[in-house]
């Protein structure tokens, strides 16, 4: 009987993913191979248990994605900043730019009124790649993000590792009574540095 049972090796049989289907397929095969005459009163379930492992082709149990908890007020800092600048008459002349995951980056953004425009200048030190970096002015604060208010000229990499960007933006598009921030993006679009337009 062991030699006959060996002919039912799992590799030679179909591999449906359900053990119920395996019973339907294997019982006729047992009868065709003559096992029912050899084993006599041994139940077919016992033969199945010996000849076929459990559903090993089933996918392993995986951890489910856990949704991160949402703050009670996800724009609290933006609202606080809006209250602080509600009566502001002009954007600050200089504001610091801080790194986001790239410690060697540091810089400053300068805002200069020129007629009906604002000249936005960015100086960013610590650049290691020669590629230019995209830059924008956003509404809101760095800590919470916000929509783009104005696109700026790319920060062009200099020989000394200092990047510079200069852009004339209509003053009406950047009201002083709104919280604003400048954000610089890396090659894949991820932000690498950010600066709220607030007094140093």
Judge whether 76 and 82 are in contact, CB under 8 Å. no
Q: What is the pTM assigned to this prediction?
A: 0.65
Judge whether 197 and 111 are in contact, CB under 8 Å. yes
Please state which CATH class domain 76-196 belongs to: mainly beta
C-beta contacts of 50-53 below 8 A and 24+ residues apart: 50/5, 51/5, 51/8, 51/9, 51/10, 51/26, 52/8, 52/10, 52/13, 52/22, 52/26, 53/10
Per-residue model confidence as pLDDT tens digits over 53-88: 444 555 555 555 566 666 678 899 999 999 999 999
What is the Cα–Cα distance from 149 to 136, expressed in whole angstroms? 7
Judge whether 180 and 74 are in contact, CB under 8 Å. no
Per-residue model confidence as pLDDT tens digits over 134-193: 999 999 999 999 999 999 999 998 878 899 999 999 999 999 999 999 999 987 889 999
Map out the domains of the chain as residue ranges. Answer: 2-51, 76-196
Count of CB atoms situated within 10 Å of the CB of 12: 9
Count of CB atoms situated within 10 Å of the CB of 58: 10
């Amino acid at each position: 009987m062991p030699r006959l049972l060996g002919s039912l090796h799992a590799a030679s049989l179909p591999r449906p993913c359900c053990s119920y289907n395996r019973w339907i397929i294997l019982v006729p095969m047992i009868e065709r191979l003559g096992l029912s005459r050899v084993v006599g009163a041994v139940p077919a379930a016992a033969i199945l248990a010996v000849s076929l492992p459990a559903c090993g082709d089933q996918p392993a149990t995986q951890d489910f994605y856990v949704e991160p908890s949402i703050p009670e007020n996800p724009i609290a800092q933006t609202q606080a900043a809006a209250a602080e600048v509600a009566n502001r008459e002009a954007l600050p002349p200089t504001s610091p730019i801080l790194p986001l995951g790239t410690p060697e980056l540091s810089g400053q953004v300068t805002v200069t009124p020129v007629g009906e425009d604002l000249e936005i200048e960015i100086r960013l030190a610590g650049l290691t790649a020669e590629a230019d970096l995209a830059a924008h002015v956003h509404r809101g604060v760095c800590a919470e993000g916000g929509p783009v208010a104005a696109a700026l000229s790319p920060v062009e990499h200099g020989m000394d590792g200092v990047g510079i960007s200069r852009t004339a933006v209509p003053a009406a598009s950047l009201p002083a009574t709104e919280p604003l921030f400048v954000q610089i993006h890396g090659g894949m679009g991820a932000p690498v540095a950010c600066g709220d337009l607030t007094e140093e």
